[in-house]
Structure 1
């Protein structure tokens, strides 16, 4: 088990829990090493200097030692801030927890450092007041490739036609144009507005979003569609999703 000392990395604090009487285990999504659990000693001691840097939804630059398999260690936090709205708003907190939980499941295979920026951008947009449900949908669509589910959302999977009316086929792994709907009677029978946003979300760059607003009906349809795709083709469970589903019922 190798321990890489003196490493500098950017990170987002995901969660933390008490360990023994005075210590804590802190889970951080890092830009270079993926999800790592850090052992932080002496949290309960008077004068502990790292308190703000290990709060959930803190983010910034850290120095530490990274273990390939076991616990890692934080030596010194640098330039650490916090997503304040995510920390204070229970609904935003739930969306952030779901995105991070989904990311942890998605990165269990092979971690790609470019995904850290995607997750950071998503949490930042939610913290700034962008619709958390829409940002979450974008992440869900883009995470599909990490789970080995790479639906063709650009063209018809049969004839590669890029314009016209489409529907989503789980059997064929992507879009079917209207000419080929007959091939899958069990296609999802989606309205074209939902299809439009699925296609858009698969290619959108989060760092370039200035505003985004969807009608309530479209948001409901996207939620149902992505739930179906994740249930049938991905099959992962993230604890925060249950709370999001409960919140959706509150707003009915």
Structure 2
């Protein structure tokens, strides 16, 4: 059967002497593996279609027995070349792509996630703060996985009285009176809590300019890491590289 779809390349790997296998996140929100024959050859007309983070239209044939498809034709709509040329952007784009690939099962489909990843790459390409873009996208991943944190009131007693502690095991924040329920809960400053609430409501397609103080960014990063590690538990090579990059920049 012949398929035609707009898609984003979230993974690309060598296959044989001259071919590549790409994983597409299609506009329908599902993943598709496609062989691009001859993509590694210097004069290949499809070589640029095998680059990570590329957004384009792909036409591929896939047999009824399943397995990988074979590219027939493709057209690049946005190459996102800056996401491959600049080290920091490449690191964040790789993280978003790997997080998507690992959190979405082969038989799942999520058009909203496709739209959010597309917007994520566009925001990175537009030179918006990559850490903020990344955290908003992480929040979208958590929400689609069913782990949307409750941040407006205490998960135990429903109190709206600050200060709050973030309890990943409880699925949200605990007030001062209920904080004893989780000895591993971490304190959230008012600024950090406001930012996390904003990220919950935000759609990456409407992301504006957000500027945060360094200490707030560090607290947000710590909170998001806690949530991701507790609920998804994914070991990602791209995240390890991001951590190394942070240390190098310091």
Residues in 1 aligned to 2:62 and 2:248: alpha-carbon distance in whole angstroms? 42
Residue of structure 1 in register with 2:14 after alignment: 18
TM-score, structure 1 as length reference: 0.88
Structure 2 match to 1:142: 140
Structure 1 runs, 4 residues or longer, greater than 6 Å off: none
What SS does the aligned partner of 1:27 have?
A: strand
Over 3 Å counting, the alpha-carbon distance change for 1:72 and 1:186 in structure 2 is same
- Paired residues, number: 248
Q: Are 1:64 and 1:75, in contact at CA under 8 Å, matched by a contact in 2?
A: yes
Q: Deviations over 1:222-248 (max 9, x none)?
A: 112222222233211111001100111
Matched with 2:51 is 55
Is there any run of 5+ residues in structure 2 with no aligned partner, and where?
none
**Could you state the TM-score of these two structures normalised by the residue count of structure 2?**
0.89
SS in 1 for 2:152: strand
Tell me if the contact between 1:33 and 1:111 (Cα under 8 Å) persists in the aligned partners: yes
Q: Which residue of 1 aligns with 2:213?
A: 215
Residue of structure 2 in register with 1:98 after alignment: 95
Q: Which residue of 2 aligns with 1:72?
A: 69
RMSD (Å), alpha carbons: 2.2
Which of 236, 239, 243 is the matching residue for 1:238? 236
Cα distance, 1:72–1:177 mapped onto 2, change above 3 Å: same
CA–CA separation in structure 1 for the residues paired with 2:246 and 2:188: 21
TM superposition shift of 1:145:
2.9
| Distance verdict in 2 for CA 1:216–1:45, change over 3 Å | closer
Structure 2 vs 1, CA of residues 163 and 116 (structure 1 numbering), >3 Å: closer, same or farther?
A: farther
